[in-house]
Amino acid sequence: MLAIPHIKENTTEVIERLTKRGIPAADLINQVMSADEKRRSIQQESDNAAAEMNSISKEIGKLFSSGQTEAANEAKAKTAVLKEKAKQLNEQLQTAEKEMRELLLTIPNVPHSSVPKGVSEEDNKIEKEVGEKPVLPEGTLPHWELAKKYNIFDLELGVKVTGAGFPVFRGKGAKLQRALINFFLEEGIKAGYEEITSPIMINEASGRGTGSLPDKEGQMYYVPADDLYLIPTAEVPITNLYRDVILKEADFPIKMCGYTPCFRREAGSYGAHVRGLNRLHQFDKVEIVQITHPEKSYETHQEMVAYVETLLQKLELPYRILNLCGGDLTFASALTFDLEVWSAAQKRWLEVSSVSNFETFQSNRMKLRYSDANKKKHLAHTLNGSAIALPRIVASLLENNQTPAGIKIPEALQGYTGFAVLD
């Protein structure tokens, strides 16, 4: 959620940048501004009415305590009209506030100046491409075939137990999952992130905090009996750890990482690209989250992207980095870099990480602030990134490293798998 004072002070710039997303920004901003103006004037009236009521009540109190009962009762009689007026104004105020908030909630974050213009993924800017795409000999298999060959994971069994998109990993496949999780967590800890094990169900307030609600309710699994959602990413519970918190400047940066399963309904997804592990309802992911001083967040963003790169390098996977264009940016993000690995048998890039700076968009919703040296309160910046989502890493590892003797495990991972070749 954008902050009203920020919109007021930077109206032209906000509109200009929002336009990059291909939305009618000027209209939306003007609506918000006039809703805010309306709210303010009603608030003034309402506050004045309340102030008047308060002062009369105090008078009455004094009269009663000094024994002037008659005068007190006279004063009481006068309050009825005022009270009604105050009540109505208060109702109007609540309506005006609600209208403004709801309007504000529909406006996505303002893209950073470096975000490319564009409407679809074709307009994303390739920042760099690293590593050699392996040239595989004839007869190489996509990962879903390799899965069968080596009995690593089984989607049909998942269908039996749950439904499509809920894979069952087994044997060395299961061990590989665990190895990757541990590898990512240990690397994260080495990079200074505090490990968090969080709930994997969240309440509505948390969903609103990170911007998953209202927006992605259709993408989240919901448990009506308890009014809870299954998390789509660890970003939600981990970032919400700091909801309603006021930090000190010395607390920055806050760095956290956590492994969780992630649940996504992926309503509307279908087709060839969802085969195998390409798109799932349940998958494992290690997430990194940072909360920073506003002046440091873009530096931090670069640092986080560079960190995810080191993971891909250690896994010896060719990758590229995309700067997502305005139209492809998620609702809450101001800048997102996607990292994609090359999947050699499918011959396509697979997104495995998304590193975003939300600036104050989430912290405004979460009331996540810090106080400066003068005790002034400001919104902090939040960032997060996948480090990394497992399924497509597995897909790419399997495909790129297949040999007649089995799947070669990258050296960095062997200490975690306990085997050098998956066969």
**Residue of the chain from 9, 27, 30, 51 that contacts RNA (CB under 7 A):** 51
User: 341: closest CA among 289, 278, 404, 257?
Assistant: 278
Q: Does 58 bind RNA (CB under 7 A)?
A: yes
Part of the chain binding RNA (CB under 7 A), chosen from 72-80, 120-128, 257-265, 279-287: 72-80
Q: Which residues ranging from 248 to 277 are in contact with RNA (CB under 7 A)?
A: none
SS3 195: strand
Residue number with CB closer to RNA (44 or 302): 44
Query: Min. distance of Cβ 372 from RNA in angstroms?
Result: 11
When the beta carbons of 62 and 160 are compared against RNA, the nearer one is 62
Q: Judged by CB under 7 A, which stretch of 15-23, 58-66, 116-124, 350-358 contacts RNA?
A: 58-66
What is the bridge-based pairing of β-strands 369-371 and 246-248? parallel
Residue 60 host element (H or E): helix 25-65
223 binds RNA (CB under 7 A): no
Where does 135-252 have alpha helices with state H? 143-150, 155-161, 172-190, 204-210, 235-240
In order, the DSSP letters of 373-418 are TT--EEE-EEEEEEEEEHHHHHHHHHHHTEETTEEEPPHHHHHHHS
Question: Interface with RNA includes 71 (CB under 7 A)?
Answer: no
| Region binding RNA by CB under 7 A among candidate stretches 50-58, 159-167, 274-282, 411-419 | 50-58
The correct pick among 23, 26, 33, 50 for binding RNA (CB under 7 A) is 50
Q: Select the residue interacting with RNA from 16, 22, 23, 47 (CB under 7 A).
A: 47
Query: What is the rounded CA–CA span in Å between residue 339 and residue 330?
Result: 15
For the CB of residue 92, give the shortest distance to RNA in the complex, in Å: 13
The residue (of 91 and 186) whose beta carbon lies closer to RNA is 91
Half-sphere exposure of 13 (CA within 13 A, CB side): 8
Shortest Å distance, C-beta 64 to RNA = 4
69 binds RNA (CB under 7 A): no
Paired strand residues for 254:
291
Let me know if 96 is exposed, middle or buried by CB neighbors in 10 A (0-12, 13-18, 19+): buried
By CB under 7 A, tell whether 30 contacts RNA. Answer: no
CA angle 292/294/300 to nearest 5° reads 50
**Contact flag: residue 81 with RNA (CB under 7 A):** no
Which residues in 282-321 contact RNA (CB under 7 A)? none
Stretch touching RNA by CB under 7 A, among 18-26, 53-61, 104-112, 277-285: 53-61
Contact between 95 and RNA (CB under 7 A)? Answer: no
3-state secondary structure (DSSP) of residue 347: coil
Interaction between residue 48 and RNA (CB under 7 A): yes
Q: Does 373 bind RNA (CB under 7 A)?
A: no
Residue 347 touching RNA (CB under 7 A): no
What is the amino acid identity at position 142?
P
371 binds RNA (CB under 7 A): yes
Strand order in the sheet with 377-379: 246-248, 369-371, 377-379
Tokens of 314: 């250690």
# chain residues binding RNA, by CB under 7 A: 30
Q: What pairing do the DSSP bridges indicate for beta strands 319-323 and 402-403?
A: unpaired
57 lies in the binding site for RNA (CB under 7 A)? yes
Residue 101 sits in the site that holds RNA (CB under 7 A) = no
Query: In the bound complex, what is the minimum distance in angstroms from residue 41's beta carbon to RNA?
Result: 8
Cis peptide before 318 (omega within 30 of 0): no
Under the binding rule (CB under 7 A), the answer on residue 53 touching RNA is yes
Which residues sit opposite 262 in a β-bridge? Answer: 283
| Other CB atoms within 10 Å distance of the CB of residue 56 | 16
Q: Does 62 bind RNA (CB under 7 A)?
A: yes
Interface ranges with RNA (CB under 7 A): 4, 36, 40, 43-44, 46-48, 50-51, 53-58, 60-62, 64-65, 76, 79-80, 83, 246, 369, 371, 375, 377
